[in-house]
Structure 1
Amino acid sequence: MSGSVPASAVRAVAEAAARTERVVAALPRPPARVPEQRERATAAKNEARGARLALLRGHAQAVYDRLTDGRSVHLRLPELLAVAAENFPGLVPSADQMKEELARPQASKEGHEIDQGILLGALLRDPVAGPHLMDSMLRPTDRALRLLPEFRRTGVLQLDSVLLERRGTAAHLTMCRDDCLNAEDNQQVDDMETAVDLALLDPGVHVCLLRGGEMTHPRYRGRRVFSAGINLKSLHAGQISLVDFLLRRELGYIHKIVRGVLVEHEASWQSPTIEKPWVAAVDTFAIGGGCQLLMVFDRVLAAADSYLSLPAAQEGIVPGAGNFRLGRLAGGRISRQVVLWGRRIRATEPDAGLLLDEVVEPQELDAAVDVALERMDSPAVLTNRRMLNLAEEPPEAFRAYMAEFALQQALRLYSEDVIGKVGRFARAGRAR
């Protein structure tokens, strides 16, 4: 239900947040706290989070309506949180708090992103606010709209981590972070969403391909690599954001691959979004987030010497919407083997057929890509993939998953086991 937000609940949140800040300010930074000090900080934070949840349980829609002027404006996640910090003191961290927090390594942060996850989870869960927020995240980014005229003219755009090329009627998106084997970070998510927007908005593009570029890493020099998953070094350094990476990735470019980009166009009366078929080609490996990506593509090709893995339990975090999609594709048993046990699936294994459409020898992958792009460039493919996605991944089911994900992933980011694991990974990297 909408209506007004009770002033008493707003005041309770602000007062609880202020008390928490006073307690935390009197303590050492998180890594230096003794157990008793950690317990004191946790108790204070839990009190404030209880007040936030009490406000949001019955008034999430009213909060959202105030932030979006009665749903008359579409705010992306960062803008929504900024407006929330101004309108509801203590509900989410302030801009100054987040600036200070984001400058610290993960182990030294206070966990303010958990409070962002509380708000975003409540808004996504609301039956009115949630769909509006999902639609807001399907809109093209300002960056893409600025770059669209130049891309339509040249057909080429080189971003920091993605090369976008229009070849005939196909958009080729090549992930080119050769410094880290296409491991994902905030910059890569920004570049990918920009490239996906442009591929969808360009009327000269009918079908899209995602593939990894050639690497300069000594072990893989000259070979294409699809993706090494999340950049754990960036996570250790505190540079993987809940909002700009983990949530934007799922609600932004990956969801746009599934649903399309939401924009006014000449056929809006037929469909509010512009959609296109998507093909993925896997060279070498698709680990973690790379494996998650494959689950939304319409056709997935792979080299016979490649493999897939989703080592979520080993990393300690939730593998995006992988838990939501993997069971549908591969079944519950294999999902648990992959996610909980760390099973690696090689492209030539029989079970790989549940995730891959075609496996060819590495030297034949280019030709297989050409055939796939030609066959997928069809109006009938476009309509049928829309209906398949609607049946297989209903928007309401995806929204419910993301509402829970917003909080659970935030909690995982600040759990002791994750901080310990990424710390060991970073130390091992320095030792090498």
Structure 2
Amino acid sequence: MAARILHRLRHALAGEGGREEPAGGGGEAEDCPESSELEDDTEGLSTRLSGTLSFTSHEDEEEEEEGDGASEELEEPPQAPGTAAGTEDGGRCWGGELGGLQGHSCAGGVRQPDRCQSPVPTEGTDHPSPTEWVSAAERPGSSLLTRQLQELWRRSRGSVAPQRLLFEVTSASVVSERSSKYVLYTIYLIRSGQFDKAPATIARRYSDFEQLNRRLRCRFSCDMAGVAFPRKRLRRNFTAETIAKRSRAFEQFLSHLHSIDEIRRSPEFLEFFFLPDLQAAQRLTCTGMYREALATWANAYRLQDRLGVCSSGRFLLTLAGLAVCHQELDQLSEAHGYCEQALQLLEAQGSHPLLGPFLQAHVHLAWKVGKDKRRSEARLQDLREAGLPLQQQPSLKECLIKEPLE
């Protein structure tokens, strides 16, 4: 488009230069005084026009000679509809004198005629006036590039953008025990583009990372060939410099592992995050420390949610732990909600060791809180007719305590 306008301007100037001046018109020799400025600054004008006009027509598209301006605009990210860059003519209209081609931003993406459409007389020339340039944006097929970006934006809003999981070491503390001394690293799991009110956290020491690295290299030797791991040191393990370097190294180590599909879905990688919490929560539940267990079950829930494993057997066990602890703490509505969530996951499964216990717990809790329990009762009846001895089924709490977690 810029090349086409420049061609018209040059053609107009050439035609004006070859035209005879009217006789006796010393003071009227210049009908268009800005033409001399355009003629002297042809290259400068070309530079200013390149990549600034954001609308084209279909016939301009066929004759376009310069691609630099278009390629630069294609690299710009699409903006949301309603912003200045998302308007019909790119959120910018052009006016002023031809010599300057001053661009005015239109507030709210709406063209302002009093500021942006100030026609200048162009008698005796065949190049378009600013009004013609502005009206070109209103022709069918104009703003082709901007419309393509808007269409890309609409399509991207309808698609699910992949979320990136970030690993951030937020603190590190030196722990001294009777026979050992080590550094404990606290790591947050953060989903990009979201704000988590309650973060998912883990606390691991160097030996935990080393064990994960060793297990993954045994199983995924090829994938792990390019993954770096901080080496062990014999001295200066507890200096601030060493702790800071290892913190950054562990962040990069986990991010690299998570970027590899096979490793990201492997039990070795996943259980590194939430299995210690499940084991601790189970011990606390067995000893009747339900409030402490509830916090640990909740963190295990968030960890599995961040890692995208909310349909596994471990996640069902986590829901059972949350339901049992809430029930024991007399928080019946919360316990009922976790039972419902588990039953939704078990909807497509005809049989599961936890299906009967979850149904029985859901019926009991629904009766307590005054919720509808007919669907669960119907599913229990189906299990009885299928020959499942529900009277011999363990309760949800018994299943939770007896589940082996290794």
TM-score (normalised: structure 2):
0.24
Report which of the two structures shows the higher radius of gyration computed on alpha carbons: 2
Higher RCO by CA contacts (8 Å cutoff, separation 6 or greater): 1
TM-score (normalised: structure 1):
0.23
